[in-house]
Amino acid sequence: MSTESEVAPLVPREGWHVMHLFYHIDHTNWSMLSDEEQRNAKTKLTELIQEIRSQPDTHLLTFAIATPKADLGFMLLTPDLQVANAYEKQLTLSLGPDILNAAYSYLSQTESSEYTTTREQYAADTLIGEKGLAEGSEEYEAALKEFDDRMAHYLQHRLYPVLPAWPVICFYPMSKRRLGADNWYSLDFETRRQLMGGHARTGRAYSGRILQLITGSTGLDEYEWGVTLLAKDTIDI
């Protein structure tokens, strides 16, 4: 039986919630702490990070921010929005009150893409249309099986990503244009799907150098998507 202090989980049917959190460090308030208080605060933050990372289906990236836009950043992925909200509050206060001040934040959710090529589209357009394979042939079935396996891996990454500890991270929110003639949604779905397919092919050229995670945020924050890029070298970003 639930008690009044318990909060019902808020877990989506598929995917995880994602928070990008950026903070300024108030160096004036920090300098007013004694050496022991600073050590204890750092220990508390370290222990909190370890606690969050130990939770099932939960990931937390930590990073420093280049330029004065912010000093410290976190990227939190976890299924339950209630848990994400609680961890955000703990991270904000982890070094003590008024030490970490929010510079920017963004809430989104991992999701599949409506423009993903379906099994039927791949069979008709690529296997039969481009490669001229006969439906039901051994080569056709092998290629279709390879497509199924590749798409299962792709969908798993989109919804439940495991992010590598690469040294470079970039994040930006975005929305499709809706201005006059430059209106993405005035295009028919098939045209949009083909354009997104070309975009995906360009992205595959960076495989192994950039890991991209697109998260949806319509109704959650001020843009339609969040884009997170992880890389080993800033030139690839």
The reported pLDDT for the residue numbered 199 is 64
**Residue 207 DSSP label:** T
15 token code pair: 């995917």
Whether 172 is catalytic:
yes
With a cut of 50, say whether residue 147 has pLDDT above it: yes
With a cut of 60, say whether residue 3 has pLDDT above it: no
The CB-side HSE value for 144 (13 A sphere, CA atoms) comes to 18
Confidence label for 7 from pLDDT (cuts 50, 70 and 90) = confident
With a cut of 60, say whether residue 4 has pLDDT above it: no
Roughly how many angstroms between the first and final C-alpha of the chain, as a whole number? Answer: 50
Average pLDDT (77-104) is 98
Average pLDDT (113-126) is 85
Separation CA 206–CA 219 (nearest Å): 31
Q: What residues are paired with 62 via a beta bridge?
A: 74
Name the residue among 177, 213, 164, 208 with its Cα closest to residue 20: 213
With a cut of 70, say whether residue 198 has pLDDT above it: no
With a cut of 50, say whether residue 181 has pLDDT above it: yes
Of the listed 172, 185, 206, 223, which one is catalytic? 172
Average pLDDT (7-32) is 97
- Separation of CA 45 from chain center: 23
Confidence label for 171 from pLDDT (cuts 50, 70 and 90) = very high
- Global confidence as pTM: 0.85
Q: E-strand spans in the chain?
A: 17-25, 59-64, 72-78, 100-110, 168-174, 178-179, 182-183, 210-216, 225-231
With a cut of 80, say whether residue 85 has pLDDT above it: yes
Average pLDDT (13-20) is 98
183 in Cβ contact with 177 (< 8 Å): yes
Confidence label for 116 from pLDDT (cuts 50, 70 and 90) = confident
66 in Cβ contact with 20 (< 8 Å): no
Confidence label for 2 from pLDDT (cuts 50, 70 and 90) = very low
The reported pLDDT for the residue numbered 111 is 95
66 in Cβ contact with 16 (< 8 Å): no
Q: Which residue has the higher pLDDT, 4 or 168?
A: 168
Pairing of strands 72-78, 59-64: antiparallel
The reported pLDDT for the residue numbered 66 is 96
The reported pLDDT for the residue numbered 92 is 98
